[in-house]
Chains A and B, each alone.
Chain A
Amino acid sequence: MSGPAVEVTGVGRVFGRGRDQVVALRDVTFQVAEGQILGILGSNGAGKTTLTKILATLLEPSTGTARVFGHDVRRELRAVRRLTGVVFGGDRGFYGALSGRENLRYFAMLAGVGRRAIRAKVDDALADVGLAEAARRPVETYSKGMRQRLHIALGLVAEPRLLLLDEPTVGLDPVEAERLRGTVARLRSTGVSILLTSHYLLDIERLADRVLILSRGTVTMDTTAGEFARSAGFAATVTVRGRGPTPQRFDALGATAEDVEEQGGVWTVRLRVPEWGGGTFERLSAALAGLEVLAVDVAPVRLEDVYATVMGRLSADEPTGTRAP
């Protein structure tokens, strides 16, 4: 099928009226290509969940249009739901007295899985998330991580073409979280489009092709993952520890010293290097020539650094006055 998997144009959402009115989304426009993973970042109340709910047909936009594979989320609800899987994390969302399999079977039926295929698909989904052995136990006996995995199985069981993932790795241990990232990456390779909302920037870093930042209901950045990483303004942090007089300039590296510390004749300097390429090590050697260096540590820029830098920049630029829900 040609055309984007998700097409959001000028979407706004307002809750309440009059003085209690809250603008959750304002003129949000973006697209997700088929087979692409879009990571959505934003602080609490930025409008991420509102946007996800609109695409899941749980909430109507106040203005604008949103389409999933060409189907309007306001008018073609059933078509949108047939193509979309939703994974919202948390402890709730299941019948505690029913087993994992019974829950999954029931929700798979609601999601439109045919009665002839349901048994095999439920078994596959349970195996995919590692719950096959616990499938007969009541969900109320499940740990938080197991419930999260069941949420994921629930989103996958109907084999959707668009997957909306809201904080999918919350509650998972590192092994499980990595396993989930593998599942998501595998889904992308089969052409599934994914909208991923996460506070764990590692998820975005590892999976997203593009990054969209929502701030107070507005899209403030929509870029490729690579561009986003570069938007911090530096490529790596170099930490140098040495003895003797504290160096002030590192001209050969094109970097300025930050966080200079000195203790007992030993100094530590952190440098933010704007670019990292083939000649960087040579320039670093030249910059450190003549110094009594004890240790050098190089760390490539992390998404956390980028996010903190970008959000800091945004909060300095933004006007106040719009309340988020």
Chain B
Amino acid sequence: MTDRLLTAAWVVWTALRAEQRGMRTRPTVVVVSVVQPVALLAVVAGTRSLTPDRTSVVVSAVVLTAMWSATVWTAGGVLRRERSYGTLARSVTSQFSPSLVLFGRSLGATLYSVACILASSAAVIVLLRLRVAVPHPLWLLAALLVVLASGTALGMLLSCLFLVTRHGLAWSSALIYPVFILGGLLIPPDALPEWLRWVPALLSLHWVHEFVVGLSSGAVRATPLAVAVALTMAYLVAAVGCLRAAVDAGRRRGTLELV
């Protein structure tokens, strides 16, 4: 049992490292994980004077917005890239569950993106001398872990969906801005038409943002974080089912290209 767990951990670790090594040379990573948060923070910081608690909310929104872009373009593109590299068949028909391999790669992409986003955001905060309130650092850390898990699971799900549609690149572009707006990351959800206000509830990042907004005012409200965790689990279950269905369909239809 221990050996199986160690082997599973090794598979995840190896897949994670392989994905991260591949990301070092990908320009998209710089655009979504460095340029985007830096630009958004610089614009917001320059247009109005911010109180520390308001800055926390802004930083949270910027980080989560960049996180969504990164999820779509990096973790969400794992299987699409596998197909273009000609490595898809080997990755999903190995000795291990394809979900385990995809989990490792998606986690690798998410960790890399989050690290870049946090580093670039921190650099802007220091350079612009923004004052940020962090009243509950441990809860903030918990929120960050949920963001990591959520980005990984959402990346896996998007990756599978993009694989099934075969038009992943077009869907990647199409999904970015609607979620920025409908997810309540760039504008408050109550600014949306009433009939669209259910959409943010489906996005885990929206609930993490709600949680951070509460934290910045000194209140620890566990419900939004719990909802984010529940949504993350739902994404994960859906991704595993979707990947299994996609691989089975690929074997039936002959669409798992080997090279």
Q: Which residue numbers of A lie inside 8 Å of B, CB to CB?
A: 13, 15, 50, 53, 56-60, 77-78, 81-82, 86, 88-90, 92-98, 102, 105-107, 109-112, 115
Contact B85 A60 (CB under 8 A): no
Cα distance A296–B95 in the bound complex, in angstroms: 59
A-B contact pairs, 15 of them (CB 8 A): A53-B258, A56-B93, A58-B256, A59-B251, A77-B93, A81-B95, A88-B259, A92-B86, A92-B259, A94-B85, A97-B22, A98-B21, A106-B18, A110-B101, A111-B95
Contact A109 B14 (CB under 8 A): yes
Check B129 for interface membership: any CB of A closer than 8 A.
Answer: no
Contact B87 A59 (CB under 8 A): no
Contact A58 B89 (CB under 8 A): yes
Contact B85 A110 (CB under 8 A): no
Check B254 for interface membership: any CB of A closer than 8 A.
Answer: yes
Q: Which residues in B have their C-beta under 8 angstroms from that of A106? A: 14-15, 18
Q: Which residues in A have their C-beta under 8 angstroms from that of B25? A: 97
Q: Which residues in B have their C-beta under 8 angstroms from that of A96? A: 85
Check B4 for interface membership: any CB of A closer than 8 A.
Answer: no
Measured CB to CB, the closest approach of chain B to A167, in angstroms, equals: 11
A93-B90, A93-B258, A94-B86 are known; give 9 further A-B pairs, CB within 8 A: A53-B258, A60-B252, A81-B95, A92-B85, A95-B87, A96-B85, A97-B25, A110-B94, A115-B10
Check B28 for interface membership: any CB of A closer than 8 A.
Answer: no
Q: Which residues in A have their C-beta under 8 angstroms from that of B171? A: none
Q: Which residues in A have their C-beta under 8 angstroms from that of B95? A: 78, 81-82, 110-112
The 7 A-B pairs with the shortest beta carbon distances in the complex, nearest first, are A92-B86, A110-B94, A112-B95, A93-B259, A93-B86, A90-B259, A97-B25
Contact B258 A56 (CB under 8 A): yes
A-B contact count (CB 8 A): 83
Q: Which residues in A have their C-beta under 8 angstroms from that of B252? A: 60
Report if A107-B21 is in contact (Cβ < 8 Å); known contacts: A59-B251, A88-B259.
no
Measured CB to CB, the closest approach of chain A to B85, in angstroms, equals: 6
Contact A94 B87 (CB under 8 A): yes
Q: Which residues in A have their C-beta under 8 angstroms from that of B6? A: 115
Check B24 for interface membership: any CB of A closer than 8 A.
Answer: yes
Report if A107-B90 is in contact (Cβ < 8 Å); known contacts: A95-B18, A98-B18.
yes
Q: Which residues in B have their C-beta under 8 angstroms from that of A95? A: 18, 21-22, 85, 87
Check B11 for interface membership: any CB of A closer than 8 A.
Answer: yes
* Nearest chain A residue, comparing its CB with the CB of B26: A97
Q: Which residues in A have their C-beta under 8 angstroms from that of B165? A: none
Tell which of A13, A89, A102 has the most Cβ of chain B within 10 Å.
A102
Measured CB to CB, the closest approach of chain A to B258, in angstroms, equals: 5
Q: Which residues in B have their C-beta under 8 angstroms from that of A110? A: 90-91, 94-96, 101
Q: Which residues in A have their C-beta under 8 angstroms from that of B253? A: 15
Cα distance A129–B25 in the bound complex, in angstroms: 27
Report if A109-B85 is in contact (Cβ < 8 Å); known contacts: A58-B93, A59-B254.
no
Check B7 for interface membership: any CB of A closer than 8 A.
Answer: yes
Residue of B15, B18, B86, B94 near A81 (CB, 8 A) is: B94
* Nearest chain B residue, comparing its CB with the CB of A13: B254
B2-39 CB mask vs A (1 if < 8 Å, else 0) is 00001100110011001001101110000000000000
Tell which of A78, A82, A109 has the most Cβ of chain B within 10 Å.
A109
Report if A109-B11 is in contact (Cβ < 8 Å); known contacts: A98-B18, A102-B21.
yes
Cα distance A57–B15 in the bound complex, in angstroms: 22
Cα distance A106–B16 in the bound complex, in angstroms: 10
Residues in B173-198 with C-beta less than 8 Å from chain A: none
Measured CB to CB, the closest approach of chain B to A260, in angstroms, equals: 48
Q: Which residues in A have their C-beta under 8 angstroms from that of B22? A: 95, 97-98
Contact B18 A59 (CB under 8 A): no
Measured CB to CB, the closest approach of chain A to B250, in angstroms, equals: 8
Cα distance A92–B101 in the bound complex, in angstroms: 20
Measured CB to CB, the closest approach of chain A to B165, in angstroms, equals: 20
Cα distance A109–B85 in the bound complex, in angstroms: 18
Cα distance A235–B251 in the bound complex, in angstroms: 44
Measured CB to CB, the closest approach of chain A to B15, in angstroms, equals: 7
Report if A57-B259 is in contact (Cβ < 8 Å); known contacts: A81-B93, A110-B94.
no
